[in-house]
Structure 1
Amino acid sequence: MSIKETSKDGHKLLLHILCATKMPFSSYKLEACRVPPQASFLANTLYSLLLLIFLSSCELSYPHLAMEVGSGSGDKAGFFTQGRRWLKALPVKFKANMVAMVRNIRKLGQDDPRRVIHSLKVGLALTLVSTFYYCQPLYSNFGVTAMWAIMTVVVVFEFSVGATLGKGLNRGMATLMAGGLGIGAHHLANLSGHIGEPILLGFFVFLQATISTFLRFFPKIKSRYDYGMLIFILTFSLISVSGYRDDEILEFAQKRLSTISIGGSACVIISTVVCPVWAGEDLHNLIALNIEKLGNSLEGFGDEYFKRTGGEESKDDKKFLEGYKSVLNSKNTEESLANFAAWEPGHGRFPFRHPWKLYLKVGTLTRECAYRIEALNGCLNADIQPSSEVGSIIQEACTNLSIESGKALKELALAIKIMVQPSSADSHIENAKSAAKNLKSLLKSGIWEDIDLLKVIPGVTVCSILIDVVTCTEKIAESIHELASKAQFKSVEPTLSTEKLHSGQIQSVKSAQMVNCSHVVINVGESTLPSPPCESSSAPNASKQRMEV
């Protein structure tokens, strides 16, 4: 019900109440007090609110009126009765909304505790920069321009170190360049005389705004320097235009640059020193996690698909089969993290000028594979499934292919995670290629001639997509080999237990000398694997050799 309809119905109800209670108001006076249809929305709202309060009080004083009005309107309750119910339910709804909000806040902090720390860091930076206003000597030097330091903290401080550094450097360099050009434009305009000065200043502002805005359309500038271009336009316009009315233009530019530098420095120092969040590390972990999700989806696809083909329904949790969905929408996140990581200095395992662009290449190939897995998932949930006869023919080859491809992807993800050469995935890729070759031979054979074509098509579709998945897996492996070579991942010669690797017990791999031993001992947690005897007696200490992992 709209406010106008509410006002109209309430007005009629008010007439009934006044007549029933014999109040000293004539209908003519009440008509004169009615809100006209041309009244504003605010007037109608206020009228409806006052009418609701009045009718609620009337219900308390004259309870028999609610019965009369309710009987006159059929099944619909009276207007003031509905309003009273709404008022009674308001505290309950408010409490429920508050509880839901608290739960959401708690969940947000538990999902990533770094968000809470980031909020505290922003508060600390603002508090430190605000001393320009609290401390009189500092305020006397900078004056009102100290506000630029606070504004810089608000707009520059980002979640990761790379994003903060990128914005801070963009803002600082843009302010410096625009300030210098603005002072030069102001000086040239002064030489043109009193009449030509505003014309020349307007031309300079128009020229720089046009060129800077056009440059923002270039993709490389848009991705890395867009914020700097905006600050350049703003600073140049402020300095050049304000200089027309202010003779102390040089002092104004110097104070603005100083306060922005102070605010940006506070952001960078706090972001880097206090619990830093590195965009490069997030990108590294994201790529590894996405590949691992694809491996889990592929590894469980074969068994699940042929269980449904045979009429069985699996009762196990199938969420791992849908892990690919988050990979499909990861492009923007990966590009943003790679852009921020390019600004970051060397940290931890990632030196300066780490090949972050290769992570984007791996991410693109990973999404291509995810689209194939999405097509497989569509076949899994399709209404038309291959017959049991067709399923029995292709089951072994398809299952082996999906399992080996999944294992290869998981080994590749693990190699990225611990930054070692992905040599352990090569055997699984070869097995997957062999299974794909067998599957192609099976499809080319003549065993399908006596089977109905409609029963064959669903199974052949799955086979074709799985063969394409093997090709995608091979491309991902090649790109990761390239990344490992450029990033100088460590090479691991000994054979490591896959279960130990995937259980997360192995954290880092250090190089060790091989002394004519078929194996080396690996320390996993506190336990030690037994060392086999060496082939040569010239290495008496070989049995005590260890690799810290």
Structure 2
Amino acid sequence: MGSVVIPIPDGDHQEFTDLRKEKRFQVSLSPVISFVQKNKDIIRKIIHCIKVGIALVLVSLVYFVDSLYKEVGDDNAMWAIMTVVVIFEFHAGATLSKGFNRGIGTVLGGGLGCLAVILGQKVGGIGNPFIVGVSLFILGGAATYARLIPKIKKRHDYGAMIFILTFNLVSVSGLREDNVMEIARERLTMIVLGFAICICTNFLVFPIWASDELHNSMVSKFECLASSIEGCIEEYFRLVSEKENQSVQTVASNFRNCTSVLNSKAKDESLVNFAKWEPWHGKFGLSHPWEKYQKIGEILRELAGTILSLKGSLNSHKEPLQALRESIKEPCEAAGSSLASTLRELGESIMKMRRCQPEPCIVPKLKLARQELSQVISPLKLGKIDSAEGLAVACFVFTLMEVVEKLKDLAKEVEELGELAGFHQS
């Protein structure tokens, strides 16, 4: 039988060729995309290092260019490099915070230092060092006390330290130098130059926003706790024979996410502080309610601690207890699934910046879960067995009921966040 040749029109052939090229291009990029997704933190660290290198090269132009170096001088040029090294931080908000504090501390410290020098020179004689010494004692002590105030220490500790340092340097050097005002002006100019280079480099070259990291980490906490609840329910109702064959690492993995959430307080507080300094960018405006993220984080940590308290119940392997567990398995699994889905729903509303309305959907679901758990611990069911065994099961169920109550508070905070931040309606 002869072969049949089917002609392909030029247009279709060209389209077919383009599709093959596009598919081949997508396949070739897939390893790169996979690597980027798995190593986001490493890539961000590399970008930060590159940005620091760029800033150092730019500020070193003061030394590289002869005309600039002759104009500025070696002593003053060093202050620009020191400023870049000291205030260039990983997050854009942290760099702006440190730069602002350094600027304010330098201006106030330098200004008051010059004032102390002028006053001491007018008095003259032995009164000059006396005036400077008294000024150092009073203002240095006052600034040190201010650093101990929690609100000032949280946001302006670095600025207070720079104030003490600058005031000390300017006022003491004024005892030996006649042109202290000129020196202060030149060094302030170099500090401003270093600050400007840091801000331009950090904000314009692949900026790393603390607000984005805070937002994403907060969303991930909801998924972590939802997975932990599902894992605890599954582990609690696993057969005793299956538990004995299960490795300790698998059991511990159910609580690893809770532990990470529980230990996130310090990181959340620093990210909130840095996010407040950041300018408008992307989906976050100037008045975004970052304090609400901190409040939501506190409730999530309380919730993580409650879930961790289930660990004692999971370690029980008594065979007589297995029959009771089987009798309450269905309502507890239904309640656990409802709690996990509620957590994911709240996290999704934050991720998509969608207004959360607990009353129509979430609150009825939580009420139903509580009713199911209340029926589980009724005297009719727990009164049929030994009191110690009944207490162990009741402890597990009561802990789940406590999770329900905390989810109600969490839903309320997420709703308030949506209202204050102006999230769009669902």
Name the TM-score, length of structure 1 as normaliser.
0.67
| Residue 257 of structure 1 pairs with residue 191 of structure 2 | no
Pairs within 5 Å for 1:89-238: 111-143=41-73, 144-238=75-169
In structure 1, C-alpha distance between the alignment counterparts of 2:151 and 2:319, rounded to whole Å: 48
Number of the residue aligned with 2:417: 483
In structure 2, C-alpha distance between the alignment counterparts of 1:436 and 1:141, rounded to whole Å: 75
Number of the residue aligned with 1:403: 337
Q: Structure 1 counterpart of 2:421, which letter?
A: A
Number of the residue aligned with 2:208: 277
The residue matched to 1:216 in structure 2 has which SS? helix
Q: Structure 2 counterpart of 1:285, which letter?
A: N
From 308, 333, 344, the equivalent of 2:278 is: 344
In structure 2, C-alpha distance between the alignment counterparts of 1:425 and 1:378, rounded to whole Å: 34
Once the two structures are TM-superposed, the CA of residue 133 in structure 1 deviates from its matched residue by 1.3
Once the two structures are TM-superposed, the CA of residue 482 in structure 1 deviates from its matched residue by 0.4
- Point out which structure has higher relative CO (alpha carbons under 8 A, 6+ apart): 2
The residue matched to 1:159 in structure 2 has which SS? coil
Once the two structures are TM-superposed, the CA of residue 440 in structure 1 deviates from its matched residue by 1.9
Number of the residue aligned with 1:296: 227
In structure 2, C-alpha distance between the alignment counterparts of 1:218 and 1:469, rounded to whole Å: 36
Deviation per residue, 1:50-94 (Å, 9 max, x gap): xxxxxxxxxxxxxxxxxxxxxxxxxxxxxxxxxxxxxxxxxxxxx
Q: Is the 1:299–1:407 contact (alpha carbons within 8 Å) kept by the matching residues of 2?
A: no
**Which structure has the bigger radius of gyration?**
1
In structure 2, C-alpha distance between the alignment counterparts of 1:426 and 1:457, rounded to whole Å: 35
**Structure 1 spans left out of the alignment, 5+ residues:** 1-105, 493-549
Number of the residue aligned with 1:240: 171
Pairs within 5 Å for 1:282-361: 282-308=213-239, 319=253, 322-361=256-295
CA 428–385 in structure 1, closer or farther in 2 if over 3 Å, else same: farther
Deviation per residue, 1:437-456 (Å, 9 max, x gap): 23224423333333111221
Number of the residue aligned with 1:512: none
Q: Is the 2:358–2:412 contact (alpha carbons within 8 Å) kept by the matching residues of 1?
A: no
Once the two structures are TM-superposed, the CA of residue 458 in structure 1 deviates from its matched residue by 1.5
Q: Is the 1:429–1:473 contact (alpha carbons within 8 Å) kept by the matching residues of 2?
A: no
In structure 1, C-alpha distance between the alignment counterparts of 2:398 and 2:99, rounded to whole Å: 51
**Structure 2 spans left out of the alignment, 5+ residues:** 1-35
Once the two structures are TM-superposed, the CA of residue 399 in structure 1 deviates from its matched residue by 1.3
In structure 1, C-alpha distance between the alignment counterparts of 2:333 and 2:354, rounded to whole Å: 29
The residue matched to 1:121 in structure 2 has which SS? helix
Aligned residues with identical type, % of pairs: 39
In structure 2, C-alpha distance between the alignment counterparts of 1:191 and 1:385, rounded to whole Å: 91
Q: Structure 1 counterpart of 2:372, which letter?
A: N
In structure 2, C-alpha distance between the alignment counterparts of 1:142 and 1:181, rounded to whole Å: 24
CA 309–132 in structure 1, closer or farther in 2 if over 3 Å, else same: same
Once the two structures are TM-superposed, the CA of residue 461 in structure 1 deviates from its matched residue by 0.8
In structure 2, C-alpha distance between the alignment counterparts of 1:173 and 1:417, rounded to whole Å: 36
In structure 1, C-alpha distance between the alignment counterparts of 2:359 and 2:133, rounded to whole Å: 64
Number of the residue aligned with 1:388: 322
The residue matched to 2:178 in structure 1 has which SS? coil
Name the TM-score, length of structure 2 as normaliser.
0.86
Greater fraction of residues in helix: 2
Number of the residue aligned with 2:7: none
Once the two structures are TM-superposed, the CA of residue 296 in structure 1 deviates from its matched residue by 1.2
Q: Is the 1:412–1:425 contact (alpha carbons within 8 Å) kept by the matching residues of 2?
A: no
Q: Structure 1 counterpart of 2:275, which letter?
A: A
In structure 1, C-alpha distance between the alignment counterparts of 2:362 and 2:278, rounded to whole Å: 36
From 398, 409, 416, the equivalent of 1:464 is: 398
The residue matched to 2:423 in structure 1 has which SS? coil
In structure 2, C-alpha distance between the alignment counterparts of 1:311 and 1:380, rounded to whole Å: 13
Deviation per residue, 1:227-272 (Å, 9 max, x gap): 0000000000000000110000110110111000000110011000
Q: Tell me how many residue pairs correspond in the alignment.
A: 387
Q: Structure 2 counterpart of 1:436, which letter?
A: R
Once the two structures are TM-superposed, the CA of residue 383 in structure 1 deviates from its matched residue by 5.3
